[in-house]
Amino acid sequence: MQPFQKPLYYAGLRDIFAKRGPMGDESMHSFVKRRFGPDVAEYLIDPLVRGICAGDCREISVSFLLKELKETEMKSRSIMLSTAKKLFMKKKSEEKKSKPELARKAEHEGWSVWSLQGGLETLTDSMVDHLCNNGAEIKYDTKITSIELQGKKARIKMESWEEIETEQLISAIPAISLASLLKKSHPGVSKILQDIKCVTVGTVITTVLMRHGMTYLGGGGDSLSGSVVKTEVC
């Protein structure tokens, strides 16, 4: 099966007979290549990491996404055998428990996919309604000019000259953007944030024309290995 050079079950066999790796840290690429072979590292893990966090699995620690697998290797050596044992024990344990009616129905009818009526936007809209109904205030299209950390509190200044003082502050913006907000009040923290590398990520949406009675099929989320396509966004 392209692009793999060997059938995927070879990766499982390789893991069964592989020795334990080093105790210290290693990259995700090194760990997967050593245990499951270069094909899995190159054509599964590399695109996965690039798709999730736009990073290079050759430079990211195995503890970032595969910490549990690393711990399993240290404890049981073979990841495949240890996983199979856990699944077997879990199945035996579940057989002894009585399942809820909905779970039995899902199992009998073979449910595999679920969604929300109206799309996933329904989830965020419900969260907003719940927060607002419980006294929270949500500000939209509000530009922040600076953040000052004072003891156990944070003071947030906005372009409208409005200020908010809070005991908890969670940032979900890029490190480089947060650095500019802390530059005046905390230059040391700002410098650390500026040193964190970031990249611009582009999303490509594909549309495929299907024949034999089907119309258009929209799709997204395709990831390629770093060795296949290397793109620099300026």
Q: Who wins on pLDDT, 84 or 52?
A: 84
Mean pLDDT of the chain: 82
What does the alpha-carbon distance between residue 151 and residue 167 come to, in Å, rounded to a whole number?
Answer: 9
The residue with greater pLDDT, 52 or 57, is 57
- Cα 139–Cα 140–Cα 143 angle in degrees, nearest 5: 90
Tell me: pLDDT of 216 over 70.
Answer: no
The enclosing H or E element of 181 equals helix 175-182
Mean pLDDT in residue range 221-228: 57
Terminal-residue alpha carbon distance, the chain? 35
- pLDDT at 126 > cutoff 90: yes
Q: Is the pLDDT higher at 197 or at 131?
A: 131
Predicted local distance difference test score (pLDDT) of residue 95: 63
| pLDDT classification of 226: cutoffs 50, 70, 90 | low
- For residues 179, 182, 185, 191, the Cα torsion angle rounded to the nearest 10 degrees is -20
Q: Is the pLDDT of residue 43 over 70?
A: yes
CA atoms within 13 A on the CB side of 128: 8
pLDDT band at 8 (very low <50, low <70, confident <90, very high): confident
The token duo for 133 is 């109904």
Q: pLDDT value at position 234?
A: 36
pLDDT at 51: 81
pLDDT computed for residue 231 by the predictor:
43
Q: What is the pLDDT of residue 7?
A: 85
Could you read off the pLDDT of 150-184 as tens digits, one per residue?
A: 888 999 999 888 899 999 889 988 899 999 999 88
Task: Identify the structural domains of the chain with CATH numbers, from first to last.
Answer: 1-108 (1.10.3110.10), 122-194 (3.50.50.60)
With a cut of 70, say whether residue 197 has pLDDT above it: yes
Give the residue, 158 or 213, on which the prediction is more confident.
Answer: 158
pLDDT digits (tens, 9 = 90+) for 74-124: 998 899 999 888 888 877 776 666 677 877 788 788 877 677 788 888 999
Check residue 190 and give its pLDDT: 92
233 pLDDT above the threshold of 50: no
- Could you tell me which residues come within 8 angstroms of residue 105 by beta carbon, excluding any fewer than 6 positions away? 111
pLDDT for residue 140: 87
- Mean pLDDT, rounded, for 29-46: 92
- The pTM for the full model equals 0.56
